Structure 1
């Protein structure tokens, strides 16, 4: 935190006292990842639907541009499909199971 504040302070030049605005820091009562889980989208697809579909059958989403296809291929390099279960390969090569919002809430609870 101190490094971040020092970096911010070195980026600006303040001439008057009224130019300085206080930085507000909030402390949450629950971990941030708990707030990050939302209900699935109304299109009935999981957040990882396109990656799973590409891993299974090398199919791209409908109306995908060439850039979308290239991005999907690059993303798929970080995932491993084991039967019907999709895993994301972490930086330390640990496999993280991809779950939907309902299952994530159960795991966190």
Structure 2
């Protein structure tokens, strides 16, 4: 606790917000990033600005690909429906697509993202 109290003096502004354990993915990611950096007292780091949004971020990103006119989820849908990869997909692209597709389920022609309480 003393370390935290000493570090607080180094910031212009600081706030604390309680976050339930089940919603701590961002905290885990930030802790992982922080463990990767080795800095000294002279290091100047730009602040990370975060905002709480009224709607999920994926709702803001539902746009068609400008080049091909396809929705953002097209490749996921094709993989879930037919186990098909895009023609230009590399092995890394295929692995990423498989990882993303695990999170979705197809019901008829509608692709749904699985909830936290649904089995994977």
2:106–2:112 contact (8 Å) kept in structure 1:
yes
Q: Work out the CA distance in 1 between the residues paired with 2:114 and 2:77.
A: 14
Alignment gaps of 5+ in structure 1: 15-19, 95-109
RMSD of aligned Cα (Å): 3.9
Q: Work out the CA distance in 2 between the residues paired with 1:27 and 1:82.
A: 33
Residues paired across the two proteins, number: 85
2:104–2:113 contact (8 Å) kept in structure 1:
yes
Partner of 2:111: 86
Report deviation, 1:12: 6.9
Partner of 1:36: 60
TM-score normalised according to structure 1 size: 0.54
Partner of 1:49: 74
Residue 79 (structure 2) pairs with residue 65 (structure 1): no
Cα 1:85/1:67, change in 2 over 3 Å: same
Cα 1:26/1:61, change in 2 over 3 Å: closer
Q: Work out the CA distance in 2 between the residues paired with 1:37 and 1:92.
A: 24
Tell me, what secondary structure is at the counterpart of 2:79?
A: helix
Structure number with greater CO (CA < 8 Å, separation at least 6) is: 1
Q: Deviations over 1:51-108 (max 9, x none)?
A: 00111111101110011111111111111001100001122329xxxxxxxxxxxxxx
